[in-house]
Amino acid sequence: MDKRVIVVGGANGVGAACVRSLTGAGASVFSLDMAEEPGRRVAEQAGAGFLPCDVTSREQVFSAVDSAASEMGGLDALVHVAGILVQGPAEELTDEVWSRAMDINARGPMLTNQAAFPHLKKGDRSCILNFASSAALTAYPGGAAYSASKGAVTAWTRTIAVEWARFGIRANVIHPSAATSMVEQHRNKMSDEEKAAYAELMRQKVPLGGEFGDPDRDIAPVITFLVSDGARFMTGQNIPINGGYYI
Ligand SMILES: NC(=O)c1ccc[n+]([C@@H]2O[C@H](COP(=O)([O-])OP(=O)(O)OC[C@H]3O[C@@H](n4cnc5c(N)ncnc54)[C@H](O)[C@@H]3O)[C@@H](O)[C@H]2O)c1
Helices (H), 73-143: 95-102, 108-120
Q: How far is CA 19 from CA 33, 90, 210, 245, in A?
A: 12, 35, 26, 25
According to the model, what pLDDT value does residue 247 have?
86
According to the model, what pLDDT value does residue 127 have?
98
Measured in Å, residue 50 CA sits from the centre of ligand 1 at 17
- Residues catalogued as catalytic: 146
**Mutation test residue for ligand 1: of 6, 8, 14, 202, the one with most atoms within 8 Å of CB:** 14
Helices (H), the chain: 13-24, 36-46, 58-72, 95-102, 108-120, 144-163, 181-188, 192-205, 220-227
Q: Which residues line ligand 1 at a C-beta cut-off of 6 Å?
A: 9, 11-15, 33-35, 53-56, 81-84, 104, 131, 133, 176-178, 180-183, 212
**Separation between Cα atoms, residue 243 and residue 88, nearest integer Å:** 26
Measured in Å, residue 61 CA sits from the centre of ligand 1 at 17
At 206, give phi and psi (nearest 5°).
Answer: -110, 95
**pLDDT tens digits for the chain (247 residues)?**
999 999 999 999 999 999 999 999 999 999 999 999 999 999 999 999 999 999 999 999 999 999 999 999 999 999 999 999 999 999 999 999 999 999 999 999 999 999 999 999 999 899 999 999 999 999 999 999 999 999 999 999 999 999 999 999 999 999 999 999 999 998 899 999 999 999 999 999 999 999 999 999 999 999 999 999 999 999 999 999 999 998 8
Task: Collapse the DSSP code of 123 into the 3-class scheme (helix H, G, I; strand E, B; otherwise coil) and give the result.
Answer: coil
According to the model, what pLDDT value does residue 124 have?
83
At 50, give phi and psi (nearest 5°).
Answer: -140, 140
